[in-house]
C-alpha cells in the first residue's frame, strides 16, 4: 500500500468523513453504514456545487435588475395591481431567487469529495459510471440515470443499487490506497497502520 498524501490531507479527509457520519446518522439513524457516509458526502457535495452562484449567469442578468418593479413608465396604480396579483398567486412580496452562499469549508469539502470521483476511472466504462453517480446523487430521475449508465439494458432497481455500490467501492479503495484511510468501528474511519 502506498500513501501519497500528507498528514494534513488525511486529517482533512477524516474530518470530512466524520461530517458524513453525522449526515448518515441524521438520515438513517442506527442503520447507517460506511457506504451511507460516503454517499451522503457525495450527495451534499453535488448540492453545494449546484447551489453555488454562477458568476457568468450573474453578469448576464445584471442589466435586468437595474429597473426593478418601479420601472420608468409604470404608474402607482400599475405597481399596486402587480403586487395584488403577486399576493393572489401566493407569492411573497419581493419574492425572487434565493441566494445561497456556501461557507468556504463547505465548498472545500464539496470539491474535495467530488475529486474522489477520479477513483472511478478504474471502472470499465468510467465516464458512464461517474455521470450516472452524479445524476443519482443530484436526485435525478431513474430513467435518466439508466440512460447514462446502461442505455442498452432494461431499466430496473438493481441498476441504481449497482451504481451506488460500485461508486462507493471505488471511493473506498481510493481512500485506502491513496490516503491510507479505512473503515473503523461503527461508521467511523481511521488511518491504516
pLDDT, residue 26, reads 93
Distance CA 42, CA 36 (A): 10
Contact 192, 176 (CB under 8 A): yes
List pLDDT tens digits, range 20-69.
999 999 999 999 999 999 999 999 999 988 887 766 445 544 444 444 54
In terms of Cα–Cα distance, which of 100, 102, 120 is closest to 111? Answer: 102
pLDDT, residue 177, reads 93
pLDDT, residue 2, reads 45
Q: Residue 161 corresponds to which cell in the numbers above?
A: 443499487
pLDDT, residue 100, reads 58
Q: Residue 54 corresponds to which cell in the numbers above?
A: 454562477
Domain boundaries, the chain: 7-54+102-191
DSSP character for 191? E
- Please provide the DSSP assignment of 110-137 as one string: HHHHHHGGGGGGGSSSHHHHHHHHHHHH
pLDDT, residue 168, reads 95
What's the average model confidence in pLDDT over 134-148?
A: 86
| pTM score above 0.85 | no
pLDDT, residue 48, reads 87
Distance of CA 182 to the CA centre of its chain: 23
Tell me phi and psi for residue 5, to 5 degrees: -130, 160
Give the C-alpha distances (Å, rounded to integers) separating 58 from 46, 52, 64, 65: 20, 11, 10, 10
What's the average model confidence in pLDDT over 6-21?
A: 92
Helices 104-115 and 7-28 pack at an angle, to 10 degrees, of: 100
pLDDT, residue 116, reads 94
pLDDT, residue 181, reads 92
In terms of Cα–Cα distance, which of 190, 53, 39 is closest to 116? Answer: 39
Amino acid at each position: 500500500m502506498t500513501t501519497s498524501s500528507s498528514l494534513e490531507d488525511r486529517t482533512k479527509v477524516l474530518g470530512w468523513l466524520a461530517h458524513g457520519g453525522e449526515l448518515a446518522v441524521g438520515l438513517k439513524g442506527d442503520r447507517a453504514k460506511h457506504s451511507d457516509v460516503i454517499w451522503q458526502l457525495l450527495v451534499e457535495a453535488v448540492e453545494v456545487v449546484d447551489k453555488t452562484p454562477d458568476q457568468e449567469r450573474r453578469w448576464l442578468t445584471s442589466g435586468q435588475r437595474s429597473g426593478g418593479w418601479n420601472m420608468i413608465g409604470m404608474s402607482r396604480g400599475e405597481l399596486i395591481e402587480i403586487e395584488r396579483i403577486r399576493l393572489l398567486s401566493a407569492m411573497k412580496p419581493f419574492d425572487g431567487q434565493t441566494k445561497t452562499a456556501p461557507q468556504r469549508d463547505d465548498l472545500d469539502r464539496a470539491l474535495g469529495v467530488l475529486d474522489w470521483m477520479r477513483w472511478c476511472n478504474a471502472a470499465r466504462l468510467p465516464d458512464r459510471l461517474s455521470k450516472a453517480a452524479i445524476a443519482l446523487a443530484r436526485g435525478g430521475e431513474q430513467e435518466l440515470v439508466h440512460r447514462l449508465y446502461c442505455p442498452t439494458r432494461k431499466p430496473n432497481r438493481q441498476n441504481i443499487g449497482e451504481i451506488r455500490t460500485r461508486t462507493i467501492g471505488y471511493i473506498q479503495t481510493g481512500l485506502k490506497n491513496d490516503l491510507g484511510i479505512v473503515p473503523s468501528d461503527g461508521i467511523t474511519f481511521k488511518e491504516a497502520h
